Amino acid sequence: MSWYPKPDAREAVVTRHIAMYKYAKKGTDEPTHMYLNGVPYTDPVTETPQEGTSELWEVINLTNDDNHPLHVHLAVFAVLKQRSLQRVDEFRDCMQGSASSGAGGRNDALACGMQRHLAGGRTRAVPRQERGWKNVFKVRPSTVATLLVRFMPLEESSGNSGRFPFDVTAGPGYVYHCHILDREDNEITCLCWFC
């Protein structure tokens, strides 16, 4: 039986903020598409993780009422915590660059005061069955899930310390998306990125 490494946030080399947005047909609540970090799947790459490293991701679900199963290809992650946002509409407006005060900016969680919007919010226990290494996690609406994302195999092959036995840069490489199949089929879910 293999014993996998225990998740340790101290191994992260960078922290990223990944925001999920749902867009609706003008004047209705009918969803038309969902983007990660406000950009469509066909836009240029925005993240460039390095093979053999780990990162902390603060995944922000700014959709009002949907759980979104985030899926990462060629990586595994451990869910460290999930916290509820306060004053979600205000935070979303800032993140989308539409805050009336002009504060913040597009996808800048720090400038939009994410920590302030988490203060006083509920910390949700990570369900027991979700505590191990995985590649899909259902992010609740109006929450921030903190993930330790590992860009290396859990089991190291001989002589390939922290590396895959193939070239991950040979495209498509690392890809992340919402794992709701009808959205994947219509290419309305996400942005992918490559190493």
Q: What is the DSSP string of 123-143?
A: EEPPPGGGSS-BSEEEEPTTE
**172 pLDDT more than 80:** no
Give 89-97 contacts, CB < 8 A, sequence gap 24+. Answer: 90/117, 91/62, 91/117, 92/21, 92/62, 95/19, 95/21, 95/38, 95/60, 95/62, 96/21, 96/38
- pLDDT in the model for residue 70: 85
Give the least confident one: 102-106, 107-111, 116-120, 139-143: 102-106
Could you tell me if 150 and 57 are in contact, meaning their C-beta atoms sit under 8 angstroms apart?
no
The overall average pLDDT reported for the chain is 80
**104 pLDDT more than 50:** yes
DSSP letter for 6, please.
P
Residue 16: burial class (beta carbons within 10 Å; 0-12, 13-18, 19+):
middle
Identify the structural domains of the chain with CATH numbers, from first to last: 9-28+51-155 (2.60.40.420)
Rounded CA-CA distance 40/33 in Å is 9
Please state, as a whole number, how many other Cβ atoms lie within 10 Å of the Cβ of residue 124: 13
Amino acid making up residue 50: Q
Rounded CA-CA distance 165/156 in Å is 9
Of residues 54 and 23, which shows the higher confidence score?
A: 54
Tell me the residue length of the chain: 195
Most trustworthy range by pLDDT among 45-49, 79-83, 105-109, 191-195: 79-83
Q: Roughly how many angstroms between the first and final C-alpha of the chain, as a whole number?
A: 31
- pLDDT in the model for residue 195: 31
- Any idea which residue has 């598409």 for tokens? 33
Q: Parallel, antiparallel, or unpaired for β 12-24 and 31-36?
A: antiparallel
pLDDT band, very low/low/confident/very high, at 190 (cuts 50, 70, 90):
very low
pLDDT band, very low/low/confident/very high, at 96 (cuts 50, 70, 90):
confident
Share of the chain above pLDDT 90, in %: 34
Of residues 1 and 2, which shows the higher confidence score?
A: 2
**40 pLDDT more than 80:** no
pLDDT band, very low/low/confident/very high, at 141 (cuts 50, 70, 90):
very high
The CA dihedral of 89, 123, 60, 86, to the nearest 10 degrees, is: 10
**101 pLDDT more than 50:** yes
Could you tell me if 96 and 106 are in contact, meaning their C-beta atoms sit under 8 angstroms apart?
yes
Mean pLDDT of 35-52: 79
